Amino acid sequence: MPHLPQKILIATKNLGKVNEIRDLIQDLPIEFLSLAEFPDAPDVVEDGETFEENALKKARTLALATGLVTLADDSGLCVEALNGRPGVLSARYSGEGSSDEEKCLRILEEMSEIPDSERYARFVCVLALADPGGEEYVFRGVCEGRIIRELKGTKGFGYDPIFLYEEEGLTFAEMDRQSKNLVSHRGLALRKFGVFLEQRARP
Ligand code: ITT
């Protein structure tokens, strides 16, 4: 991919992700399209064992289906005391179609006996960029924190209300989008993606 693509499809159905991605990639002459503009796009079964496998599968499938350079995000929460769960199962932990609150409550329940000193967790985000010709790139970001014992805050999405970002003393759901983006797993991966695009924008 020697040149900057004119259009990039953001292949996610998660509005929380779309908002964070749009916030961070604003300054380049690229039109970002969403899946809302492709109602017939295929559903991708996320059956990989790693975030990388799933992100690449989503990006590759949608790039081939639409003919557009496509960016996909696979991400999730990995809790040390739960042997890395929910991990790649983050979106459907607590059952298919469960709400964000139900997913958070399930983690809290599973961790009820875990002492404060062992509640380490990390958010991981893998962004995959695929072009219909078969070129593929991956950008990864990780953010470390702790799981608290109740839900706190109403911003963000997913597991944000139970994830304490210790440097701020706040959960991600108590931080506004800009502050979260500065330190989050997705923010880090997106900045790597931004550098990649800027290198291609130079004449
Ligand atoms: P797409 O596959 O359409 O992108 P999804 O929500 O199904 O959307 P994933 O399979 O990557 O996406 O699942 C990621 C889940 O991990 C997501 O649904 C949240 O529950 C959680 N997650 C990821 N990033 C998060 C963040 O920044 N804050 C809170 N929870 C997050």
Given 73, 74, 116, 176, the catalytic residue: 74
pTM above 0.85, yes or no: yes
pLDDT at 21: 84
DSSP lists the bridge partners of residue 73 as 127
Q: What is the amino acid identity at position 95?
A: G
Residue 120 lies in a domain: yes
The CATH number assigned to the domain holding 125 equals 3.90.950.10
Assess contact for 34 and 10: CB atoms under 8 A.
yes
**pLDDT tens, 25-69?**
777 888 889 998 999 999 999 999 999 999 999 999 999 999 999
pLDDT at 203: 65
* Residue 92, ligand 1, Cβ within 6 A: no
* Residue 94, ligand 1, Cβ within 6 A: no
Output the CA 158–ligand 1 centroid distance in Å: 7
Cα separation, 66 vs 38, whole angstroms: 8
Cα separation, 54 vs 162, whole angstroms: 25
Cα separation, 18 vs 10, whole angstroms: 7
Domain with 60 in it = 7-201
Residue 2 lies in a domain: no
Structural domains of the chain, count = 1
